[in-house]
Structure 1
Amino acid sequence: MPQEIRSAILSGKRPKPMERRQMVRILVDEMRRYEANPTRSQCLTVIRNIIRQYPKSFADMTADWSLLGCGYTSLLIQVKNRIENVNRGGNYAHHRASRSSSTYKRGPTDTYGCTRFQPELPPEETNETVEQNRQRLVEIYRQEGAGGVERAEVKNRMELTFCLQRRHINELPPPDVENMRSKWPFLFTQKCIYAHFELLTDINVLRSLELSMVECGRAITEYFRGKPTNRDVKDVLSNCEDNEMALCVVQLLMAHFGEDLTGLVLLTN
C-alpha cells in the first residue's frame, strides 16, 4: 500500500483523490489475483471490511462528519468501475449468463440474495396437489378478484405453492408477464408480492424500507438543510416537521431534481 495511504490511515485523515485512485488500482489488482472478474457481491465484502476498519479515511461522510447512508457507496463504485475498465476488451462479459435467442443458462448472479431460489416441494405435497392449490387460487381470483387476497385461505395456499411459483418464474426461456398473471393472479397484488419476496430472501421489504428511511433519511435531510440546492428544496424543508420522514425524503429528492411531486405521489384531502 502506498505510503501516503498508510499515513492517512494512521492519522485518521482522508487521502487525496489521486492517492485514493492509486489505492483502488492496487486493491483491484490484488482482488483479480484470485478472481479475474469479481462480482459486486465479492467487491462489497471487501469494501465493507475496509470501511469498518478505516471509516475516517474511506467512508462516505456528510459535511459534519456523520456517516452518509451505508458509507461504502462511492468506494464500491470506484472499485467496480476499475474492474470493468481493466476487463474491457477482454473475454469477460458484462452479464455473466449468456442468453442468446437460442440458448438460455442460469448464472450465479440470478440467485444473489435469495435463500429459496428454487425450493423443494413442501412435506407431504406432490406436484399434483400443489397444482391443485394453484388452480384453486385462480378460481378464487375469478370469483372475487384482487379483493380475495385478504382471505386466509389465499395466504396459506400462496405459501404452500411457493415452490411452484418459483419453478414457473425460473423457467427458461423466461415466461412473459401475461402468462404469469394468468397462472398466478394474486402474485400481482401488493400483499402477495411482498410475501413472495420475504419467502425468497428472508427480508421483510416494508420493514427494510422503514429501517433504510430511518438510517439514510436523516442524512439526506441534514444534507439539504446544510446545502439547500434551490427554492423548492427550502420550501419542503420548511414543512418537513409536519411530515413523515419517508414523505419528506421523497419530496426533497424530487424538489432537488426539479420533478413534479404529483407525478409520483397522489395527494388527497
Structure 2
Amino acid sequence: MAKVISFQIPKSQREFVRYQQDRGRHFYDKLHQHPQLQLTVVLEGTGQFLSGDYLGRFQAGDVFFLGENAPHVFRSDPEYFVQDVDLRSAGDTIFFDFEVFGKTLGDLEELRSLRKFRDFSGLCFQVFGESRERITAIFEEFAKSSGLQRFQLAILLLSILDQSGENLVPLNRPALARGLSERDGKRMDEVMQFIFEESARPITLQEVADRASLSKEAFCRFFKLRTRKTFTQYLQQVRVSQAKKLLIESDLGISEIAFQVGFENLSYFNRSFKAITGKTPKSWRVADKTAS
C-alpha cells in the first residue's frame, strides 16, 4: 500500500493509476496535497473533510474527487484516536497521474476530453446519485484488476466523472484553488490540528497565532487568504460541524450540545448554527431523523 505522506505521494513516471486501500482506526490526519488527481470512496468511519475553504462531514458511502494539488485531510472524529476503542476506518482511493501522458494528452483525439480535469487543480468535489453508485461498483472490481483491465476501469471512472453533471458538486471555491508551499502547508496543518483539538474551549487569537509562529496581524492575513474566513468564523464552523454529529448520534439536549462543542451561550449557538446551515439545531435534528 502506498503511504500518503505530507504534501507528496511516491511517484512513478510509468504509472498512470495507483490504487490504495486505507484500513485502520483512523485516516491519515495531516493536511497534504499531491500532483495526482484523487478519487476516494469512504467505506467505514466518520469525521470532517477539509479542503481549502470547505469544511464538512464524511461518512461511509461518500465519494470525493480532488483535482491536482488540492490541500486536504480526512480527519476522523476524536473517538477514532482513543486507544482500545473498537472503531475502524476504511477507504479506497485511486490516484490518476496525468503527467505520464506528456504531450500525448493534447495530441491524441481520444484523450483530449481528459484535459478538462487539468482545470480542476486545487478543487474538490463530492459525487452523488447514479454517478456515486456506478463509481462504487467499479471500485469493487478495481482491487481484483491489473494491467490493461485496470487502465480501462480507470478511464471508465474518469468518463463517469466527466458526464456526472449535477451529480458532481463542487465543495471549495476556485479563487482559493491553489496549492500550498511545504512551509505554509505544515503551518496550516499545525493550526488545523490545534483548532480541532482545542475547539471545545475558548481559544484566543494569540494562542493560534503562536502555533503558526506569526504575529496576530500576520496570522489573520495568512489564515484569511487560505480559508476565506476569519479565524473566528472558521472556529464557529468547526463547532457547528461537531454539533451536527452530536445532534445525530446522541440524545443530548441542545443547550448541552452547545456548551460541549465550545459555545458560551445558547442564543449565540442557535444564531451561528442557523447562519451556517440555514436551520435551527432543533429543526436540523428533526429533519435528519425524518430522512433516516
- TM-score, reference length from structure 1: 0.24
More strand by percentage:
2
Question: Which structure carries more relative contact order (alpha carbon 8 Å, separation 6+)?
Answer: 2
More helix by percentage:
1
